[in-house]
């Protein structure tokens, strides 16, 4: 079978029958060997019977959530390709041919673009149309170097085997983002076709919650991009903190009528430490993501992780510690010169703050290096040995019993049966 059209469903009695009939008609009209699967997520309004009567195969998905329903439908699909779309009659299931054509040409994921195809008046709330969707789509393009213009279009087609291989995890509305992100991260071919969005045919409000689901989409995009969540903010903070710290270590810096002094030096130290911690988190997150398989291995990160070692981390940590301790010793000497009396904070803090900063970064590097080394531990250095067959085990047991003179025939038979069980 070439194509399965999957529709998630939760109490869509008003529209599911129409959607199924449109999809079935499209398959017949275009001569596509396919089926329609309705992934029901616990409807109580008779949606299941209406879908079956219209020609769909209904699969029941117990775990609640948009993502869970879709994954249940994808797993149950029999087609090489899957086109997913909501069962609220907002998407045009009579125009699936462009998606199929792109998949046949070799695309792994084909996204619909409602902004290019046309959005009917009232079909999308203004907040979604002019703020939510454009902002989240821009964030997706920025974070993952994607060219997709409509990140959250619910009508999309993809290769079923690829989708199942990506280990999709999201249970809610953010499943739409995860699908695009993982196809992008792992280098699969993605294309886009115009599609339309109509006013849905339901009399009740949609399942989508603007603020809750918008935040879940944004949260997902952040968590899957250690570069933008940790690395880039960390490098910016480190650069600003290091530059300001070096400048202020030699004396006040005046900009017009404003003078920056040791108070700003303390702030610069905090920026440097926080930035350094963020960069470490980026490395740790990437290492963990690669080890668990939900982030791809890149050449640059792979080279770094391969070249990095516990010993190198210890050396870097040691160098920072030596610098910090040297600064503290210098501050003690400075205090001794003042006969251990009262010090001018504008002088003493220029020694103490950079020294304390170096020591904090030393311990951060030390702990981060140990944790990174733990993440790089492999479960086993050798392949697991297959268990010996029953006859080998039995022979060993008989030999042992004979040598010890303690195992009777009955006991041996019981032991053999226990082993087989």
The predicted model scores a pTM of 0.75
Q: Where are the domains of the chain?
A: 3-223, 226-375, 390-420
Ranges under pLDDT 70 in the chain: 378-421
pLDDT, position 412: 43
pLDDT, position 364: 92
Question: Do 183 and 190 touch, CB atoms closer than 8 A?
Answer: yes
Q: For the chain, percent helix, then strand, then coil, each to nearest 5?
A: 60, 10, 30
Instruction: For residue 300, count CB atoms less than 10 angstroms from its CB and return exposed for 0-12, middle for 13-18, buried for 19 or more.
Output: exposed
Q: Is the dihedral of CA 195, 198, 201, 205 positive or negative?
A: positive
How far apart (Å, rounded) are the C-alpha atoms in residues 111 and 83? 10
In CATH, the number for domain 3-223 is 3.90.550.10
Counting Cα atoms < 13 Å in the Cβ hemisphere of 135 gives 9
How far apart (Å, rounded) are the C-alpha atoms in residues 52 and 77? 15
How far apart (Å, rounded) are the C-alpha atoms in residues 302 and 47? 50
Listed as own residue / partner, the contacts of 255-264 with beta carbons closer than 8 Å and 24 or more positions apart are 261/346, 262/345, 262/346, 262/349, 262/350, 262/353
Q: What is the CA radius of gyration of the chain?
A: 31
């Amino acid at each position: 079978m070439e194509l399965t059209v999957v529709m998630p469903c939760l109490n869509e009695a008003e529209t599911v029958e129409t959607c199924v009939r449109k999809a079935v008609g499209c398959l017949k009209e275009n001569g596509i060997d396919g089926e329609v699967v309705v992934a029901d997520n616990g409807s109580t309004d008779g949606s299941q019977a209406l879908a079956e009567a219209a020609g769909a195969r209904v699969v029941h998905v117990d775990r609640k959530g948009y993502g869970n329903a879709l994954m249940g439908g994808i797993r149950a699909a029999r087609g090489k390709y899957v086109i997913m779309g909501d069962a609220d009659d907002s998407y045009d299931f009579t125009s699936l041919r462009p998606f199929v054509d792109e998949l046949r040409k070799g695309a792994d994921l084909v996204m619909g673009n409602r902004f290019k195809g046309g959005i009917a008046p009232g079909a999308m709330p203004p907040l979604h149309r002019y703020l939510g969707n454009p902002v989240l789509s821009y964030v997706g393009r920025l974070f993952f170097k994607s060219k997709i213009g409509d990140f959250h279009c619910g009508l999309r087609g993809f290769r079923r085997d690829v989708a199942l291989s990506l280990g999709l995890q999201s249970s809610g509305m953010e499943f739409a983002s995860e699908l695009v992100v993982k196809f992008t991260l792992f280098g699969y071919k993605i294309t886009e076709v115009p599609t339309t969005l109509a006013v849905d045919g339901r009399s009740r409000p949609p399942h989508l919650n603007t603020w809750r689901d918008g935040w879940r989409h944004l949260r997902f995009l952040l968590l899957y991009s250690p570069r933008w969540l940790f690395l880039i903010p960390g490098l910016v903070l480190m650069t600003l903190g290091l530059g300001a710290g070096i400048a202020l270590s030699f004396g006040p810096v005046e900009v017009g009528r404003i003078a920056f002094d040791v108070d700003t030096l303390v702030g610069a130290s905090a920026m440097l430490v926080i930035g350094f911690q963020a960069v470490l988190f980026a490395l740790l997150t990437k290492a963990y993501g690669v080890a668990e398989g939900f982030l791809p291995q890149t050449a640059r990160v792979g080279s770094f992780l391969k070249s990095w070692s516990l010993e190198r981390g210890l050396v870097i940590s040691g160098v920072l510690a030596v610098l910090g301790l040297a600064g503290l010793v210098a501050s003690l000497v400075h205090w001794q010169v003042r006969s251990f009396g009262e010090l001018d904070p504008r002088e003493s803090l220029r020694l103490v703050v950079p020294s304390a900063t170096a020591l904090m970064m030393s311990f951060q590097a030390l702990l981060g290096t140990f944790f990174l080394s733990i993440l790089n531990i492999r479960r086993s250095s050798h392949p697991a040995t297959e268990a010996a067959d029953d006859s080998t085990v039995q022979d060993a047991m008989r030999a042992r019993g004979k040598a010890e003179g303690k195992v009777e025939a009955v006991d041996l038979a019981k032991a053999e049966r226990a082993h087989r069980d």
